[in-house]
A and B are shown apart, each in its own frame.
Chain A
Amino acid sequence: MRAASAPRGRAERRLLLLDRESGAVGDAVLDDLPSLVRAGDLFVVNDAATLPASLPARLPSGAAAEVRLVRARDDGRRWQAVLLGAGDWRTPTERRAPPEPLAAGDGLQVAGLAATVTALSRTSVRLFELLFESDADAAWAAIYRHGRPIQYAHVPEPLALWSVQTAYAARPWAAEAPSAGVPLDWSLLSALRARGVGLAAITEGAGLSSTGDPAIDAALPLPERFEVSAAAVRAVSAAKAAGGRVVAVGTSVVRALESAAASGELRATSGETDLVIGPGYRPRVVDGLFTGLHEPTASHFALLQAFAGRAQLEAAYAHAERGGYLGHEFGDANLIL
């Protein structure tokens, strides 16, 4: 599927429909969304703001490198991060020259601040724990002053941070945009509300989609920080009790809600999740998914198979391909319900 190569607004996005029961495929546009759902349904969105997670770095040798933040480990001084060699997103990550190897205890300059490598992951030496040697105020200031949103080679122009935020972003937990929600502006959200659809939020620190390091990429998705509030649990329970369907806006919402229901019952939960959803997983909470169109090879496609059969999904994607739908984070949308 051809990738959308620049940010696109609500009005430009098409919507591929896939009926979970029948496998029927249909074509719509995003503005049709309110007419495709029912009063009493609940849309659950991810209110994580997208971090400027790509930071310039200097290695102990003096060589330039790029640090990509994965998730905060505390109030902003400690982070899990991935190291990439010199260069930027214009070179596909898998073709980037590998960085010089790090060792625990190494001192780096990251976003202009002194930082220390406190631990290396067993997955790959490029996945590491980082400690800024400043207070949290200074660390956040440096991240926002020097950081840029993570982006990939299929989007040639540099992205502004506001082009990768949702219209309801509340706290900066996401290494990459929770992209399914980015085209949902308040006009569309208000139309859903007017239709009788409920809105609720969880927070999930959506992680990296690719690093170019085969060992890390094989381990994706990495554990992510998440929070499902008591208010979200109440909204889900009320919707289900009234016969409404719970529609997750993005796969990060599926991961958060299903993680919070790991005990069998949905509970207010805050922590980290390593739940990986794929073929054979039976969702306990989520009835439908509003998401983007991504490469069939990605972990995204594996998660979709918890909602529809592989053959149905392949048929839907073939239909989208023939119909000229666009893929990736600024691509067209997909409603599986």
Chain B
Amino acid sequence: MSLNAIVTGASRGLGRALAVELARTGAQVVLVARESEELHAAVAEIRAAGGKAHAVAADVGDKEAIHQIAGAAAGLVGPIDLLVHNASTLGPTPLKLLLDTECEDFERVLQVNLVGPFRLSKAIAGGMALRGRGTIVHVSSDAATSAYPRWGAYGVSKAALDHLGRSWAAELGELGVRVLVVDPGEMDTAMHADAMPEADRTTLARPEAAAHRILVRIFEPAFENGARVAIGGGS
């Protein structure tokens, strides 16, 4: 039986690379991103290579969109086995000092990076628990563990996302649902360029390489439930 997967933030960067790589393993992949040509181009790329992919255009930070994502995805591919929370937002760029951050922007970062993943897992993990199997992946960042100036809103959201992963694992582990928190390290993505336009892109890892390493961890038969793993280390 093939794996049914959802990847959020799948129109570009690491999410797109994860979707492509998952489809290559034979998974049916539902790519979620806000409406964009990039989303449909990513689906078309996977299909052209013989993979099975579907697009769901939705904003994970929008409460009303959660059942659209969970329902349309399960309607298209069946019960979900793997849920990858990759979508995230930095908030307004250039990144701002906390004292200059609008409260509304801080809330929006939490909605997309933390509350959205909670809501989507809530809609999907119950079915996983009943079937006694399923994997949820939280894509984190080193900003979750180290505090950097101007990364406050994003870092707080990722630190909380890490703990949300551990908390899910504590509750769902005995029901057969596994949770993995991965820090992919710095990668050459549009998000990275938005955050650090001055960075030398040639020194950054390719998202495809990070995606490959993440899938290796996901498919490991035994990992410590709720564990946080850093898989960075150049391309």
Contacts and interface: CB of A to CB of B under 8 A. Distances in A.
Interface of A: 45, 47, 49, 51-52, 72, 75-76, 136-137, 140-141, 143-145, 161-162, 165-172, 186, 199, 201, 231
B13 to A, nearest CB: 22
Given A76-B75, A171-B74, A144 B127 contact: no
A162 to B, nearest CB: 6
Contacts of B130: 45, 47, 168, 170, 199, 201
A176 to B, nearest CB: 15
A235 B56 CA distance: 35
Interface of B: 43, 54-57, 66-68, 70-72, 74-76, 78-80, 123, 126-127, 129-131
Given A137-B56, A140-B76, A144-B72, A170 B131 contact: yes
A257 B148 CA distance: 57
Nearest to B54: A137
Nearest to A173: B75
Contacts of B43: 137
Contact of A168 (B66, B75, B78, B127): B127
A165 B119 CA distance: 14
B131 A140 contact: no
A298 B80 CA distance: 35
Nearest to B129: A168
Contacts of B78: 171
A299 B70 CA distance: 31
A72 B54 CA distance: 18
B68 A145 contact: yes
20 contacts: A45-B130, A47-B130, A47-B131, A52-B71, A72-B75, A75-B75, A136-B54, A136-B76, A140-B72, A141-B57, A143-B75, A144-B68, A161-B71, A167-B126, A168-B126, A170-B74, A170-B80, A170-B127, A171-B78, A172-B71
Contacts of B66: 162
A150 to B, nearest CB: 15
Contacts of A172: 71, 74-75
Contacts of A141: 56-57, 68, 72
Contacts of B67: 52, 144, 161-162, 165
Nearest to B78: A171
Contacts of B75: 72, 75-76, 140, 143, 171-172
Contact of B79 (A170, A186, A199): A170
A143 B80 CA distance: 19
B31 to A, nearest CB: 10
B72 A49 contact: no
Given A136-B54, A162-B67, A169 B72 contact: no
